[in-house]
Amino acid sequence: MIITGGERLSGDVHISGAKNAALPILVSSLLTEGWNTYHNVPDLVDIKTIKNLLGILGADIKDDGPLQINTSGMNRCEASYDLVKTMRASILVLGPLVARTGEARVSLPGGCAIGARPVNLHIKALQDLGAEVDLKDGYIEAKAKRLKGTTIYFDISTVTGTENIMMAACLAQGMSCLKNAAREPEVVNLAETLNHMGARIFGAGSDEIIVEGVERLHPAETTLIPDRIEAGTFMIAAGLTGGDVRILGCDPSHLDALISKLRDSGVEITVFDGGVHVRSGRTLTSVDIKTLPYPGFPTDLQAQMMACLTCGSGLSVITETVFENRFMHVGELMRMGADIHVQGNSAIVKGVKRLRGAQVMATDLRASASLILAGLVAEGRTELSRVYHIDRGYQEIEKKFSALGADIRRVPA
């Protein structure tokens, strides 16, 4: 991707459906027979991967209109290493497969560019629900005649862990109580979907979720929430470039932490129903950021906010508490002239007058977004390689930025 910096963004941008809501929600089709219908599904590589996995498990998929999935013909209960290593969220099939078929064989995901990211809490919770779990040849092998509802305590708030176990508990015998559950809006969207399918889930969005197990679920129709991370990325871009941008089709109530931080740094934000209007002068005041589970500041916006603060008016301290290795973008931002010093899980960012375009490399999805943002304000030309990371989670990002006046294009490698 080639970006020539210096353009002030202006205009309207429409936000797509949320990747991290779509993944568990499409997987929830495994819990029932018949055609489920999904609206507002984003067109992303990760969505193709999950559809591919569901196809391998025997699902029928129609996507000429709203996406439809029918898992009546399911004939396998395995997620291979080849799939799981390309997308960790494939682990989401573990709970539903055990609940529906009584068994599952799912590859352990292995390491990751942003941290160790173990799945021990998914496994422990499934064992709490009565599954027998063995780790063999790099695979999780789980079996249960019927899962039994119980109280589950998550040591750490885990998003996909909560989703996995919430899905499994829907078909368990009796009641489950998930304590220290993740409160992310994507968890709520999944719970609403499951309830449309006949599940009995209460308390999603709080840290205690009650699931009353039912005998069976039925197919349903659901609409995905807008992607709060995509929306946040455009908000930061507008703030950073001194822009005037309306971000439409998002849910501002999912973005309170970011709105507060951007306002603290001098960005003017007007919230309206279904969108936000972001206006800013070019120089932003430095602010400190600490990533936390929702409703705290999202780790998925940390890299983008760091790009923004590299041009702030003073010192910002950015502390990453969710993942232990999510500063891979720092070295790349420094190649563009940023002044950043990493100490443990904090990055001290000293605002510089300007960034300079350079050749940089994306290391993960959100790091790619941060480098695009840096490129938008850098002097001269930035060449971003390994952009396949960005296609996992942002739909047509260069088209959306171009429409706002950015000079950005994709060229063949």
| Residues that are catalytic | 112
Interacting positions 320-379 with ligand EPU (CB under 6 A) = 322-323, 365-366
First to last CA, the chain: 9
Among 393, 394, 395, 408, binds ligand EPU (CB under 6 A): 393
Neighbouring C-beta atoms of residue 237, cutoff 10 Å: 27
Contact between 118 and ligand EPU by CB under 6 A: the answer reads: yes
Contact between 257 and ligand EPU by CB under 6 A: the answer reads: no
Are 124 and 162 a contacting pair, CB within 8 Å? no
Task: Specify the residue, 113 or 403, whose C-beta has the smaller distance to ligand EPU.
Answer: 113
Are 193 and 222 a contacting pair, CB within 8 Å? yes
The CB-of-412 to ligand EPU minimum distance in angstroms stands at 26
The CB-of-288 to ligand EPU minimum distance in angstroms stands at 20
Neighbouring C-beta atoms of residue 210, cutoff 10 Å: 17
Neighbouring C-beta atoms of residue 330, cutoff 10 Å: 21
Among 72, 120, 151, 253, binds ligand EPU (CB under 6 A): 120
CA distance 366 to 362: 9
Task: Specify the residue, 5 or 161, whose C-beta has the smaller distance to ligand EPU.
Answer: 161
Interacting positions 32-61 with ligand EPU (CB under 6 A) = none
Q: How many residues bind ligand EPU (CB under 6 A)?
A: 24
Q: Is 405 left (phi over 0), alpha (psi -120 to 50) or beta?
A: left
Q: Is 56 exposed, middle or buried (0-12, 13-18, 19+ CB in 10 A)?
A: middle
The CB-of-283 to ligand EPU minimum distance in angstroms stands at 29
Handedness of CA 393, 297, 231, 209 (dihedral sign): positive
| Closest C-alpha to 310, from 269, 358, 254 | 358
Amino acid at the residue 330: V
Interacting positions 130-169 with ligand EPU (CB under 6 A) = 156, 158-161
Length of the chain: 413
Binding mask 283-322 for ligand EPU (x = CB under 6 A): ----------------xx---------------------x
Contact between 249 and ligand EPU by CB under 6 A: the answer reads: no
Task: Specify the residue, 48 or 218, whose C-beta has the smaller distance to ligand EPU.
Answer: 48
Q: Which residues bind ligand EPU (CB under 6 A)?
A: 20, 23, 89, 115-122, 156, 158-161, 182, 299-300, 322-323, 365-366, 393
